[in-house]
Amino acid sequence: MRMDERKQKVLAAIVQDYIIGGEPVGSRSIARRYNLGVSPATIRNEMADLEEMGLLEQPHTSAGRIPSDYGYRYYVDCLMAPEELTAAEKEYIQRRYKQKMHEFEQMLEETARLISEMTAYTAVALGPNQKKAYLEQVQILPVQLSGKALLIAVTSTGLVEHRLFTIPDNTTEEDLQRLSKYLNDSLQGKVVEDIHRSILQDLYQEVIDQRELCNQVLEILRQVLALEGSKKIYLEGAFNILSQPEFKDLERVKKLLAFLEKEDALRRVFASTPEKGLSIRIGQENKHEGIDRCTVVTIDYNVEGKVAGKLGLLGPTRMQYSRVISVMNCIADCLSRSLQQFYR
């Protein structure tokens, strides 16, 4: 859509004013708060044109206008100025990732919590989808003088999972090496979701003389490879969005809460964005019932240049887009760097 500079300035002013105040914006308010160099009457005419173009809506009989979904879309794509986080905010985010977090899951939980805290919206973090990964290598290493061994599984996504477990008293280092070889010969290169119990049972028959050890290892391997699940969801700030004035309507609240309770729906919405990097879907661009008046923001987090998973945010269409983008970019970057400890 082609739009002259004055209309762009009026639209940007209305979007910014409405994001801050949450009330329909009139021409006199724009003339008073923004130095556009034109009269309220001229602004009023521009507002009427923008409404006719589908960029503004008039919710009541008053002269005030609010942005439409299309108006937000144009603002985000064409008019929005980037908002830098303060040095203190960046330092705070970095400091949160310097805490001792020894588990991958703990880091994703902390990430969702941090997004929610920094934006006051509802945040989601999705773990890597290991079902589509394939197993590259398995190793079982003895831990000297402890009666324990360390199982290490490496997948094609680069994720390294490790589990420490107690081994039977009569287990030798050669037993662990032999079992590692059987595991690699049987499972190497197989997609995680294709590693079924039948394959594991065949493996069990190969090492029947080490029944107890084999049982332990296979159970750990099932857990590590998440054979019975898929991408885990970490949700924080579920009620944050309900504090927004747009969600005073009880029916809207019921639909939104129903959506947040459905893990499959959450996974579809936040994992399905085809775009790499950052994606913003506004209002009616979200087809799922309950969030068609919300904005969904997602961003990839990466390890060694490979997409490892997604972070997401759910808020009203009247969202502080510029700040949200800066927060999401900063957190995704910090998470990606911190995750190196769990990857090769």
Which of 15 and 338 is assigned the larger pLDDT? 15
Number of helical H runs and strand E runs in the chain: 12, 10
Domain ranges in the chain with CATH number 3.30.450.40: 87-128+231-342
Which CATH code is given to the segment(s) 131-224?
A: 3.30.390
Per the structure block, which two tokens stand in for 132?
């589509």
From CA 11, how far away is CA 30, in angstroms rounded?
10
Q: Which pLDDT value is given to residue 55?
A: 97
Return the H-helix or E-strand segment holding 161.
Answer: strand 160-166
Q: Which pLDDT value is given to residue 228?
A: 40
Residues with Cβ within 8 Å of 295's Cβ and at least 6 positions away in sequence, in order, are 72, 280, 281, 282, 283, 286, 314, 315, 316, 317, 319, 321
From CA 150, how far away is CA 165, in angstroms rounded?
6
From CA 311, how far away is CA 323, in angstroms rounded?
16
How distant, in Å, are the alpha carbons of 27, 31, 57 from that of 64? 8, 13, 9
Q: Which pLDDT value is given to residue 321?
A: 97
How distant, in Å, are the alpha carbons of 110, 193, 266, 273 from that of 122? 14, 30, 12, 18
Task: Please determine, for residue 277, whether its predicted confidence score (pLDDT) is greater than 80.
Answer: yes
Contact between 32 and 17 (Cβ < 8 Å): no
CATH class label, 5-79: mainly alpha
Return the H-helix or E-strand segment holding 22.
Answer: none
Return the H-helix or E-strand segment holding 33.
Answer: helix 27-33
SS3 36: coil
- Which whole number is the average pLDDT over 11-40? 93
Task: Please determine, for residue 317, whether its predicted confidence score (pLDDT) is greater than 90.
Answer: yes
From CA 229, how far away is CA 129, in angstroms rounded?
9
Rounded (10°) CA dihedral 86, 91, 97, 99? -140
Q: Which pLDDT value is given to residue 129?
A: 60
Task: Tell me what percent of the residues of the chain surpass a pLDDT of 70.
Answer: 85
pLDDT tens for 179-199 read 888 888 877 777 666 666 556
Q: Which pLDDT value is given to residue 227?
A: 44
Amino acid at 203: L
Return the H-helix or E-strand segment holding 143.
Answer: strand 135-143
Q: Which pLDDT value is given to residue 122?
A: 93
SS3 80: coil
Amino acid at 317: T
Domain ranges in the chain with CATH number 3.30.390: 131-224
pLDDT tens for 129-180 read 655 567 778 888 888 767 888 888 877 665 667 788 888 888 888 888 888 8
Per the structure block, which two tokens stand in for 153?
């599984």
Task: Please determine, for residue 231, whether its predicted confidence score (pLDDT) is greater than 80.
Answer: no
Residues with Cβ within 8 Å of 339's Cβ and at least 6 positions away in sequence, in order, are 104, 107, 301, 303, 308
Q: Which pLDDT value is given to residue 75?
A: 97
Per the structure block, which two tokens stand in for 292?
């068609």
Superfamily of domain 87-128+231-342: GAF domain (3.30.450.40)
Average pLDDT over the chain, rounded to whole? 84
Task: Tell me what percent of the residues of the chain surpass a pLDDT of 90.
Answer: 40
Task: Please determine, for residue 341, whether its predicted confidence score (pLDDT) is greater than 70.
Answer: no
Task: Please determine, for residue 107, whether its predicted confidence score (pLDDT) is greater than 70.
Answer: yes
Q: Which pLDDT value is given to residue 133?
A: 64
The pTM for the full model equals 0.75
Residues with Cβ within 8 Å of 34's Cβ and at least 6 positions away in sequence, in order, are 9, 13, 17
Per the structure block, which two tokens stand in for 96?
């949160």
Task: Quote the crossing angle between the two packed helices 211-224 and 197-206, to the nearest 10°.
Answer: 150
